[in-house]
Structure 1
C-alpha cells in the first residue's frame, strides 16, 4: 500500500463544532492514516492537536473571525501548508475555505468532499437570491478545479452532475460512516431510559435534527395528532437546536401536544448513543436536500429502527434491511400513518441485530476510510 499525504481543508473540528461535515472530517483524521494516507488538516476553530496516529490538525482562524478575515487567513494558511508539507493531494470539505487559495494549488490533485449543495441549502432555508447566487459561483469555481469528488449518496451525485455540470466519471459514492462500537451499548432500553430520566412504559419516538425548516419538524409535530389517535400514550423526543425552536414550541402548544412532544434542545454527543438506545423508533422527517442522514445511521448502530422520508439519500441508508422503513411521503399524514403502523406492529421492522449488522458491514469507519483512500489514490493516478 503506497503511502500518500493529504492536506484536508475542513469547516470545523468535531469536538468543537457539531455537524455532518465536521463529523466526517474528524473520523477521516482518525482512520485514514491506517489506510496509508497521512493526514494534515486546517479548520475554522481553536484546535492545535496531533493525534496518536500522527494526524495533525490546526486552525486557520477562530470561529469569531469575520468573513473577510476567515478568507484571508485560510488562503495564507493553505499556501504555507503547501509550501512546508508539499502534500500529494488536497481534500476540500467546504468550497469557501479553499476558493481563495486555488491559484496556489497549481497542478496538485484536489478531491472535493461534497457534503451538500451550499447554495441550494441556503435557498431552502430562506437566504436571499444574491447570497444564493454568490455561493453558487464559489462552488462552481472550486468544483471546476477538482480532480475527483466524494459524495455521500446517489442523490448528491445527481445534483453534482445536473446542477454543477460535474462529469459523472469524476464522482465517487462513499457513504457516511459511524463508529459502530461506540453506539452498540450493553444497556437495555429500560436501563437507557432510567439513566436518561425518560418515562418507562410509553412508546418513544426520537428524532435528532437541526431545527430548521427543511428538516421536516413542523410536519412531524403535526403528524402527532394522527399518531396520538392511534397510539394514545406515544411520546416524541426532539433533540437539537436551531432557529425554528420557538415556532415549534408554539405549534406544540396550539395543537395541545405538550404531553406528547418534548423539545430536548442540544443533546451532547456523548449522550446520543444512550438516547438512540432508549427510543423504540427513530424518524428522519426531512423535506428536501438530505444527502445522507448521519443520525439515521447512528440510530441503526444502536439497534433502533429508523423511518425515513423518500428524500435524497435517506432511502439508501436503510437499503438492504428487512423492513418497511421508507415512509410514503413527507407530509404530516404520511408521517403519522407510517409511525403508527410501525409502533402497532402493522408495518414490518428489522430486528436490533439486523440494524447493527448492516452498519458494521457497510458503514463502520474502517470500511469507509478504505473506500475514501481508494478514491484518493485514483486522483493521484
Structure 2
C-alpha cells in the first residue's frame, strides 16, 4: 500500500486535489504487544483530530479483506461517516465477502453493513467485482487496478538459445507463494535436459526451509538467494531474467511484482488468481498454471526454453500491455473520476 500511496501523491491527481496522508499502520516497525495496543487505541483519536483539523471532503481508506486489516479499518470508516465525510473504501485483495466469515450470519451481516456504509468500494479485479455484486447488489462498486511507473523501455531481449534459461522470483519468501513447487519444477526441468537457473530475490519466514530444500534436491549450483532488492538492483534482476516464476497460492490482489516483471519484458509463469487474469493473457504474456502442480510448471519451462522467439514475443506483449493500461497516469485519471463523482452535486 505504501507504493500505491506514493504513486497517488506523486501523480497528477495531487495537482487537482489536496492529498493528506494519515498513517494507520506501523510501516513494519518492531513493536511490543503493549505498544501495538496503545497505538490501536490512540490512533482513532488522532484520526478524529486530523479530520477536524484538515476538514477533508473525502476520506480514502486503503484496506484489505484480511482479518487484521478489516477489524482495524472499519473503525476509521465508521468514524468518517459519523463526521459526515464521503468515504472511498479501497480493498487491496483478500477473501471475497461471501467467505470472509465462513458464512457466519451475524458477522457476515455486519460486513454487509460496513460495505454499504462506504460511498464507493474500489476493487482491483473484475472477478472481485462479480463476487461483491453477488454478495450485495446494492453496493456502490468500482474497479481500479494497480499501476506502475514503467520507466524507460529496456528493449527486446536478444535471442540466445545457447544461454541457460534464467528464472527469477521477486517477493516475500512465504509458504503461500508456491516456492517449493517452483523448486521441484526446476528439478524436473533440469532432469529433462534444460539447464535452467533460478534466482530468489526477497526475504521471509520460508528462507531457511527453502535453502534446505535446495540442498536436498541437489540444486545448490542452480539456485541463488539474492536477498531483498530495490531500485536499480531490482531493475537489473528483472532485465537479466527470462521468466518470472510465480506459482502463487495466495489470493493475490494485483501484485506489483507482476507489473514490474511485465514492464521489464519478462514473461510470467503464474496461477491466475485475483486480478492476474485481468492483466495478462495465457500464451500471450506468459503461461497460466494450475496450483500445486510442479510438473505443469516444469513442462512450461521446458517448452519456453526451446522457443526463445516465443519468449521474445511474449516480452514485447508484456511491455505493450503495461504501457496501454497500467500506468500511473491511468491510475490518477481513474481516481480523479471517482473523487469528482463523489463531490458532484446531486442531480435534481
Q: TM-score, normalised by structure 2?
A: 0.81
| 2:31 is equivalent to residue 64 of structure 1 | yes
Contact (CA 8 Å) 1:88, 1:108: kept in 2 or not? yes
8 Å contact 2:59–2:80 — kept in the other structure? no
Equivalent residue of 1:250, what SS? helix
Question: How far apart are residue 144 of structure 1 and its match?
Answer: 4.0
Contact 2:282 2:288 in 1 (8 A): no
How many residue pairs were aligned? 328
Q: Of the two structures, which has the highest relative contact order with CA contacts closer than 8 Å and spacing of 6 or more?
A: 2
1:362 aligns with 2:329: no
Change (3 A) 1:35 1:62: same
Which residue does 2:75 correspond to in 1?
100
Cα distance in 1 between the residues matched to 2:342 and 2:326: 23
Output the CA distance in 2 between the equivalents of 1:336 and 1:139.
Answer: 41
Q: Does 1:244 align with 2:216?
A: no
Identify if the C-alpha distance between structure 1 residues 185 and 69 changes in structure 2 by more than 3 Å, giving closer, same or farther. Answer: farther
Which structure 1 residue ranges, 5 or more long, are not aligned?
A: 1-20, 47-58, 124-128, 191-199
The yes-or-no answer on 1:318 pairing with 2:280 is yes
Q: Per the alignment, do residues 324 and 68 of structure 1 end up closer, same or farther by CA in structure 2, a change over 3 Å counting?
A: closer
Please tell me the root mean square deviation across aligned C-alpha atoms, in Å. 3.5
Per-residue CA deviation, residues 68-95 of structure 1 (Å, 9 max, x unaligned), is 2222332122111211111111011124
1:22 aligns with 2:2: yes
**TM-score with structure 1 setting the length:** 0.75
Q: Name the residue aligned to 1:180.
A: 150
Question: Which stretch shifts more, 234-243 or 352-361?
Answer: 352-361
SS at match of 2:142: strand
Cα separation, partners in 2 of 1:212 and 1:91, compared to 1, 3 Å: same
Q: CA deviation at 1:289?
A: 0.3
* Whole-angstrom distance in 2 between the partners of 1:153 and 1:62: 30
Structure 2 spans left out of the alignment, 5+ residues: 64-69
Which of 99-108 and 320-329 deviates more?
A: 320-329
